[in-house]
Chain A
Amino acid sequence: MSRDLTVMMLTWEFPPRIIGGISPHVYNLSRNLAKNGVKVYVVTCDFPGAPQHENLDGVEVFRIDSYKNPAPDFATWVYLMNVNMQKEAAAIARSIGGKIDVFHAHDWLVATAGIGLKHVFREPFFATIHSTEIGRRNGIHFDYERMIHETEAWLTYEAWKVICCSNYMVSHVQWAFGLPPDKLIMVPNGVNTEVYEKIENNDLSQFRSKFALPEEKIVLFVGRLVHEKGVHVFVNAVPKVLEKNNAKFIIVGNGYMKDQLSVIVKGMGLDHKVLFTGFVDDETLRKLQRCADVSVVPSLFEPFGIVALEAMAAKSPVVVSDTGGLSEIVDHDVDGVKVYTGNPDSFAWGITRVLTDKAYANRLRTNAYKKIQEKYNWNRIAQQTKSIYETVLTEYSKSFWAQKP
């Protein structure tokens, strides 16, 4: 192929529209694909104040008129929005002479647009499954959920390859939709190390003093304060950690468990040791991650665990539950500490170990950062994705679809 490989990404969220993890994922993947010589067109929903068309770090971003009339329910809105997305994407593809080599859809939210485009333009189609309805709802209970589940199944059926961000998700998706194993590919999520490198060390001591006394170590939790994130396990580990180390426990995030958690903390008489910050802006969060002497991820259920990667990129040692995606990210005693899921004593042990053995903590930091740069580096992930496109395009070139009249 003499000209650049051209991909059209479909996603319902793209910065500045950020609802969940798909937005930063598609943003980082797209701009790193562009850096690797791939021409990327992103088609996404509009957002107040964001331009209809812009070139962002080499990526052509088109924001379409998402359906704005009142819709009967969320799923119907999704399908109606897809009508507009497909129409606009078709017009864009035609306006550049139909030079799209692959279409790539992210989750069922853009399934119908992507499936139609695949057949109309007869190009290979990829799906990244970030999450499933059966996983989100812990089973399929109503017709509404079944409809979404079947749409997800259809999306994986139509895709040439299905990409998941962890081995855990690969096996989950294979189970949920009964896919042949060779249809699934694991490409990890990435993390941006640059944003942490930008932070100057000398800024940090003043920043740190706003959160902890100089003699206190910082133990950090970042996440929604909901049951599945296991933040109650973290809180219950606090007294035992304080037996051996003087520390401040900082809890970043909001959620329905917040009041309940502060009651537990008050009951322990540890109000002065546990700080609930609520939501914080990106810069504050990154600085906190840089300051943390240990970052704790006590999730009970975790498909991927991006927060552990972020801590590792910020060179903070991590203590994580041995579950889901976290089990894959961390090598115990090498680049982090894995402890028993849901067990406060086990967490207290892990945290204490990191806080009391400085050489051990530094070894974890160094190894973790190295792993982030090698395995969870967006540039590498983009190269991996590009080579998946190329492999499929070679297979495709032998198909009758490639012989367009």
Chain B
Amino acid sequence: MQVIIFSWEYPPRIVGQLADYVEKLAVQLVKNNEKTWVVTYHDFLTGEYEGPEGVKTFRVTNSVHTHIGVLTWVLTLNQEVERVAANIYYDTKKQIDLIDMHDWHFIPAAVTLKKALNMPFVYSVESLEEHRSHGANSPFNMSIKSIEWLGMFEAGKLVAKSEWMRDEIVRIYKVPTDKIKVISPKSKDWIKDILETYKNVAEGKALK
């Protein structure tokens, strides 16, 4: 399988827990002989870094430097993610099986790539705006929630890291329970379950 991972944080740029998790995932995918690309953000602040062997990493940056908030920053970074993902797609002679997209930042890119190039995607949920903003519902929070909703609607499958998160997704976004697969990073079958989910999504059997 050939997989592109989208994550807004990736070592050496570590914002929260997601960066290390995504690196661990990429390493395991390579160990299982899956071709793996990571598309992430380049902030030009982190120094030299040698990533794990076998993982191809693309770091994109924003053409628009001045921003009034994280939303406008995200919404103008997505086109660069699309550009790089499309380059991978055409370079591999259109042989990309799916995108594994982590959290909300690159949902617009994943959705367009699905619509345009028929690349399905998995939405791996690390956290939700509802919890990050403690239930605040300003236009800003609502915009992020509407993007999260779009991602959940368009995803082939959602991956939650705990049963609690699965129930929260169901509660907040009314996603059918069987669209969400719970895969704990601590489980011994973690990578096996992930690969099985990828396979189902790539083959269009995601809802099973």
Contacts and interface: CB of A to CB of B under 8 A. Distances in A.
Nearest to A149: B66
Nearest to B108: A83
A131 to B, nearest CB: 18
Contacts of B32: none
Interface in A95-116: 112, 115-116
Interface string B55-83: 00000000111111101100110110011
Interface in B14-65: 63-65
B117 interface: yes
Interface centre among A72, A115, A405 (most CB of B within 10 A): A72
A122 B86 contact: yes
Interface in B104-137: 108-109, 111-113, 115-118
B63 A154 contact: yes
B115 A79 contact: no
A90 to B, nearest CB: 4
B138 interface: yes
Contacts of B138: 72
B176 interface: no
B72 A75 contact: yes
A122 B88 CA distance: 13
Contacts of A404: 90
B147 A83 contact: yes
Interface residues of A, number: 36
B177 interface: no
B139 A150 contact: no
B108 A122 contact: no
A179 to B, nearest CB: 15
Contacts of A93: 116
A71 B71 CA distance: 11
B79 A116 contact: yes
Contact of A120 (B63, B113, B146): B113
Contact of A147 (B66, B87, B111, B147): B66
A69 B87 CA distance: 33
Contacts of A87: 108, 111-112, 115, 150
A154 B64 contact: yes
A116 B71 contact: no
Q: Is the interface of A mostly helix, strand, loop or mixed?
A: helix
A380 B112 CA distance: 35
A151 B66 CA distance: 9
Contacts of B79: 112, 115-116, 119
B71 A83 contact: no
A112 B78 contact: yes
A86 to B, nearest CB: 5
B139 A70 contact: yes
Given A116-B109, A119-B82, A143 B67 contact: yes
Given A87-B112, A157-B63, A405-B93, A112 B71 contact: no
A183 interface: no
Contact of B69 (A72, A91, A112): A72
B190 interface: no
B3 to A, nearest CB: 18
B140 interface: yes
A157 B63 CA distance: 10
B174 interface: no
A146 interface: yes
B171 interface: no
B179 to A, nearest CB: 19
A69 B139 contact: yes
A119 B111 CA distance: 14
B155 to A, nearest CB: 14
A86 B63 contact: no
B94 interface: yes
Nearest to A79: B75
B81 to A, nearest CB: 9
A93 B115 CA distance: 9
B66 A112 contact: no
A122 B90 contact: yes
A80 interface: yes
B76 A94 contact: no
B86 A120 contact: yes
A75 B68 contact: yes
A382 to B, nearest CB: 28
A206 interface: no
A122 B85 CA distance: 12
Nearest to B81: A116
Interface centre among B68, B79, B117 (most CB of A within 10 A): B79
A73 interface: yes
A144 interface: yes
B172 interface: no
Contact of B143 (A69, A94, A143, A154): A69
A82 interface: yes
A358 B109 CA distance: 63
B207 interface: no
A121 interface: yes
B117 to A, nearest CB: 6
Interface of A: 67, 69-73, 75-76, 79-80, 82-83, 86-87, 90-91, 93-94, 112, 115-117, 119-122, 143-144, 146-147, 150-151, 154, 157, 404-405
16 contacts: A67-B146, A71-B143, A72-B69, A76-B75, A86-B112, A87-B108, A87-B111, A87-B150, A91-B116, A93-B116, A116-B79, A120-B113, A121-B116, A122-B86, A150-B64, A405-B90
